[in-house]
Amino acid sequence: MFANLIHLLTRSSATPESYDLAFVKEVSVTSEPIPRDRRVEARLIWGWLAIAIKCGAVAWAIHRYHVPVNVWWIVGPTVAMGAVCTGLYIWKR
């Protein structure tokens, strides 16, 4: 379908017999374990430390200044997104 559309738009002289040569006949994939990057792991640790400091500061400020909001509305999404990022790095192939 797309080959006919491309042929119509480009007005090339490709013949239908040459379309068979353009298709992929075989794909070979070799999978080797990807080594862990120590710099990324260090950044993850620093990120979790920053999340812990931020969550502690937010909890302290909310209780100190009597802000009428539940702490988990701020801490929950932060921890959840940090967990998603960490999980994606740990369980990648």
What pLDDT tens digit does each residue of the chain (93 aa) get? 566 676 677 766 655 566 666 677 788 888 888 788 999 999 999 999 999 999 999 999 999 999 999 999 999 999 999 999 999 999 885
70: containing domain: 2-90
| Residue matched to tokens 């932060």 | 78
Phi/psi at 72 (5° precision): -70, -15
d(CA 40, CA 33): 16
Is 78:54 a contact under the CB 8 Å cutoff? yes
pLDDT score of 46: 98
Amino acid in position 6: I
pLDDT score of 26: 83
Domains identified in the chain, total number = 1
d(CA 86, CA 48): 9
d(CA 78, CA 6): 48
Phi/psi at 79 (5° precision): -65, -40
